[in-house]
Amino acid sequence: MRALVYNGPRDVSIRDMQDAKIERPHDVVLKIIMTNICGSDLHMYEGRTDMETGRILGHESLGEVIEVGDAVDRVKMGDLVCVPFNVACGFCENCERGLTGFCLTCNPGSAGAAYGFAGMGPYSGGQAELLRVPYADFNCLVLPKDAREKLRDYVMLSDIFPTGWHSTELAGVKSGESVVVYGAGPVGLMAAYSALIKGASKVMVVDNHPDRLKLAESIGAIAIDNSRGDAVEQVLDMTEGVGAHRGCECVGYQCHDHYGHECNHLTMNHLVASVRPTGGIGCVGVFVPKDPKAEDELAKMGKMAFDFGTFWFKGQTLKTGQANVKAYNRYLARLIEAGRAKPSFIVSQELSLEEAPKAYEHFDKRDAGWTKVLLRPGV
Ligand SMILES: NC(=O)c1ccc[n+]([C@@H]2O[C@H](COP(=O)([O-])OP(=O)(O)OC[C@H]3O[C@@H](n4cnc5c(N)ncnc54)[C@H](O)[C@@H]3O)[C@@H](O)[C@H]2O)c1
Ligand SMILES: [Zn+2]
Ligand SMILES: [Zn+2]
């Protein structure tokens, strides 16, 4: 099968790889119809993780079931399914509690597994013609009847729509509240979209890319360009000086100032400053236990100069982590089916798998007009 392989920093290529196949009786194999490039792939692409060379990337997959293991009961040949980026067992203590992003079975010795991901188990990625899905009865979301007409929407259920939603859950967003989102990448846009669906009264989105901020405005959020003045001041100005009720971190450890200088505490400290006392912060942007290639000494050790005193004094709360996609994807699918959500509004390109290396280059540079790339293997 053809697949996108990580060769080293900023070097990926499409190669012939061994076909994905059933390895255990609870597996299925998908013929991938659509798979996306994610901001999480970029941490690996840039060589800022310990991703092994030779591995297939990709964790946002939608496909057709073409092989079914003997122990699979529910999922059938020909089903169109979207799989969460998390690989989860469904029966461990965390999975039982709905915390499938922290499965204790699929990446032994750690909590949480994912396809094509550094440090999250041996699972091959979905930026390929075929994908093996373990514990398929648990992990496959069989899509509604209108799936073929809404592929671009349903594929967002693999990661970023549930992840954006998760950030609003972690922050505790309730209807009528104000929300500030740092990052207008795909995840930040999905966080803003989720907050609006939940009935937030005011949603502010901070970034410095005009094309991404325009997308935020297109759904009714307020764009805050941090290259045109301090983001915190702008948020305070729009919230009677007290700050937003809730804040979402959708950038991660490679956050930077608008000149591009990385500073890993920037967004977290801006959140502490622009969320009101007793407000909630949900952090889904990825932070890592060590980042040897960072310039900052603390960042190298996975630490940051966090404004803990102000955070404590304001009585804020903070929740973090990988999204438990399974906890939301079925319900978000119903919003799509009912026409109440259309997460495809962020899609900027739909390309063949062969074009993926070029797409990585553009998306990595955050070139204007490269917000979310969908890949169509076999097209
Ligand atoms: N927790 C999860 O389950 C989960 C799932 C998917 C992605 N993620 C993570 O979410 C983060 C965002 O993903 P994405 O696909 O949107 O990536 P992205 O890199 O395309 O978007 C990040 C955006 O943040 C902006 N940004 C950078 N510094 C900023 C700052 N100081 N203030 C405001 N905005 C700033 C960038 O300009 C960019 O538009 C990544 O860290 C990704 O790994 C986490
Ligand atoms: Zn992703
Ligand atoms: Zn589990």
Q: What is the pLDDT of residues 357-366, one digit of tens each?
A: 999 999 999 9
Of the listed ligands, the closest to the CA of 166 is 1
Q: pLDDT of 89-121, one tens digit each?
A: 999 999 999 999 999 999 999 999 999 999 999
Q: For residue 22, how far is its CA from the centre of ligand 3 (angstroms)?
A: 20
Helix (H, G, I), strand (E, B) or coil at 150: helix
Read off the tokens for 123. Answer: 């699972």
Q: Is the CB of 322 within 6 Å of ligand 1? A: yes
Rounded to whole angstroms, how far apart are CA atoms 235 and 338?
34
Rounded to whole angstroms, how far apart are CA atoms 107 and 176?
40
Q: pLDDT under 50 in the chain at which residues?
A: none
| pLDDT in the model for residue 34 | 98
Which single residue is written with the structure tokens 């469904």? 90
How would you label 190-223 residue by residue, b for 16+ Cβ within 10 Å and e otherwise?
Answer: bbbbbbbbbebebbbbbbbbeebbebbeebebbb
For a substitution probing ligand 1, which of 233, 250, 270 has the most ligand atoms within 8 Å of its CB?
250
CB-count exposure of residue 119 (10 Å: 0-12, 13-18, 19+): middle
Q: Is the CB of 43 within 6 Å of ligand 1? A: yes
Of the listed ligands, the closest to the CA of 324 is 1
Q: Is the CB of 325 within 6 Å of ligand 1? A: no
Q: Is the CB of 174 within 6 Å of ligand 1? A: no
* Residue-wise DSSP of 252-273: -TT-B-TTS-B-TTHHHHHHHH
Q: Is the CB of 213 within 6 Å of ligand 1? A: no
Inter-axis angle of helices 186-197 and 210-218, to 10 degrees? 20
Q: For residue 18, how far is its CA from the centre of ligand 1 (angstroms)?
A: 32
Q: For residue 44, how far is its CA from the centre of ligand 3 (angstroms)?
A: 25
Read off the tokens for 99. Answer: 């915390």
Q: Which domains does the chain have, with CATH numbers?
A: 2-159+324-376 (3.90.180.10), 164-320 (3.40.50.720)
| pLDDT in the model for residue 124 | 98
Atom index in ligand 1 nearest the CA of residue 252 equals 41
Q: Is the CB of 185 within 6 Å of ligand 1? A: yes
Q: For residue 25, how far is its CA from the centre of ligand 3 (angstroms)?
A: 17
Q: Is the CB of 86 within 6 Å of ligand 1? A: no
Q: Is the CB of 323 within 6 Å of ligand 1? A: yes
Residue of minimum CA distance from atom 39 in ligand 1: 185
Rounded to whole angstroms, how far apart are CA atoms 41 and 290?
17
Our measurement of the distance from residue 287's CA atom to the centroid of its chain's CA atoms, rounded to an integer in Å, reads 13
Q: Is the pTM of this model over 0.85?
A: yes
